[in-house]
Amino acid sequence: MELRERISAATKQAMKDKAAARLSTLRLINAAFKDRDIAARADGSDGVAESELLAILGKMVKQRRESARTYEEGGRLDLAERELAEVEVIEEFLPKPLSQKEISAALDTAVAEVGASSIRDMGRVMGVLKTRYQGRMDFGAVGPMVKDRLATGG
| Structural domains of the chain, count | 2
* pLDDT value for 151: 81
The residues near 7 (Cβ < 8 Å, ≥ 6 apart) are 26, 29, 30, 33, 93
- 41 with 107, same domain? no
Distance CA 119, CA 146 (A): 9
* Mean pLDDT across the chain: 89
Parts of the chain with a pLDDT under 50: none
**CATH number of the CATH domain containing 127:** 1.10.10.410
Phi and psi angles of residue 118, each rounded to the nearest 5 degrees, phi first: -145, 175
Q: Which amino acid is present at 84?
A: L
* pLDDT value for 134: 76
Distance CA 37, CA 41 (A): 6
- 79 with 146, same domain? no
- 19 with 87, same domain? yes
**Residue 7 · residue 60 · CB < 8 Å:** no
Helix or strand run (H / E) with residue 98: none
- 83 with 104, same domain? no
- 47 with 87, same domain? yes
Q: Name the DSSP letter for residue 95.
A: P
Domain boundary among 42, 69, 91: 91
- 75 with 125, same domain? no
Domain of residue 40, residue span: 2-91
* pLDDT value for 154: 52
Domain boundary among 91, 124, 141: 91
3-class secondary structure, 35: helix
* pLDDT value for 84: 95
At 55-98, the pLDDT tens digits run: 899 899 999 999 999 999 999 999 999 999 999 999 999 888 88
- 141 with 83, same domain? no
* pLDDT value for 153: 62
